[in-house]
Amino acid sequence: MEDLERIQIRARRIISGNLNVYFSLTALAIAMVSEKVQPMCIAIFTALSIYAVGKNYLKIIEIPFLFLLPGIVIILLTVEGETVLEFSIFRITDRSLELTISTLQRTLAALSILFYLISTTTMPEFISALRKLRLPKFLTEIMFLSYRTVQVLYGEAKKFEVSAKVRLGYSDFKNSLSTTFLLSKTLFLRAMNRVEKTSLAMELRGEEIPELNAKSRGFLPSFVIISSMVLVACLK
């Protein structure tokens, strides 16, 4: 399995440099404000990601689904309303179905944008772009630690998945569901522990977050995509 840094370096970029960061963050802001553009975001940024890193995108995107699935299931089965489907002690209502679809759509839109950004932008490029926005130092450090969390999750997820398969953790639906919940919990705890150690080590060594200046390319496609998103968001 390729590590995340190698995937980023080999990525084919239509948009690159600081522009790629600003483009992604602008698209994310629009997607969070307008539900109309969310399906469009999912389609566009998934396509851009697959073009950039190919099948590696599926390896990256599966990590957040380990955390997303339990929450979606809880929403689907706990929100009150008019019953649409009932099986055993579980009940799906019209409101829970509507809220689940809305939450899933918003989350997928955000994830598709963020993981496009992660797939195509190295950490030095990302920090360089943020610093040019004159953001407070603590914000860039938070971004660095968040990024490091994703790196840890990406590395650990595959190890746990292989271990679970060897122990027949996915032998049937019940075991698969149980394994998924356990993986989510374990990955979260492991990531927090590793990130805390990284932060402490950097602080003790007096290290600073690396910075890299890269030439921006892809002004036309980024302008077309953002303009299209704004246009769709403004439609009545």
37, 229 Cβ separation under 8 angstroms? yes
Instruction: Flag whether 41 is in a domain.
Output: yes
| Residue that has been written with the tokens 């860039």 in this structure | 140
- pLDDT exceeds cutoff 90 at 22: yes
pLDDT at 1: 44
Instruction: Flag whether 62 is in a domain.
Output: yes
Range of the domain at 165: 14-207+217-234
- pLDDT exceeds cutoff 80 at 120: yes
28, 113 Cβ separation under 8 angstroms? yes
Instruction: Flag whether 6 is in a domain.
Output: no
Average pLDDT estimate for 81-88: 80
- Which tops the pLDDT comparison, 187 or 79? 79
Instruction: Flag whether 4 is in a domain.
Output: no
One-letter amino acid identity for 126?
F
Q: Give the integer Cα–Cα distance in Å for 105 and 89.
A: 27
Average pLDDT estimate for 111-128: 85
DSSP states along 101-159: HHHHHHHHHHHHHHHHHHHH--HHHHHHHHHHTT--HHHHHHHHHHHHHHHHHHHHHHH
Average pLDDT estimate for 179-190: 65
Out of 52-61, 101-110, 135-144, pick the least confident. 135-144
Average pLDDT estimate for 35-39: 93
106, 32 Cβ separation under 8 angstroms? yes
Alpha-carbon distance values, 223 to 11, 15, 149 (Å): 21, 10, 31
What is the SS3 assignment for 13? coil
Q: How many helices (H) and strands (E) does the chain have?
A: 9, 2
> Which helix (H) or strand (E) element contains residue 76?
helix 56-78
Instruction: Flag whether 9 is in a domain.
Output: no
Instruction: Flag whether 40 is in a domain.
Output: yes
The percentage of the chain sitting over the pLDDT mark of 70, rounded to a whole number, equals: 67
Q: Give the integer Cα–Cα distance in Å for 186 and 164.
A: 12
Supply the pTM of this predicted model. 0.75
pLDDT at 63: 67
pLDDT at 32: 92
Instruction: Flag whether 1 is in a domain.
Output: no
Instruction: Flag whether 29 is in a domain.
Output: yes
Average pLDDT estimate for 147-164: 65
- Which tops the pLDDT comparison, 160 or 31? 31
What angle, rounded to 10 degrees, do the helices at 38-53 and 56-78 form? Answer: 150
Q: What share of the chain is helix, strand, coil (3-state, %, to 5)?
A: 75, 5, 20
Q: Give the integer Cα–Cα distance in Å for 22 and 196.
A: 28
- pLDDT exceeds cutoff 80 at 196: no
Average pLDDT estimate for 215-235: 93
Q: Give the integer Cα–Cα distance in Å for 133 and 200.
A: 26
pLDDT at 42: 94
What is the SS3 assignment for 209? coil
Tally the domains of the chain. 1
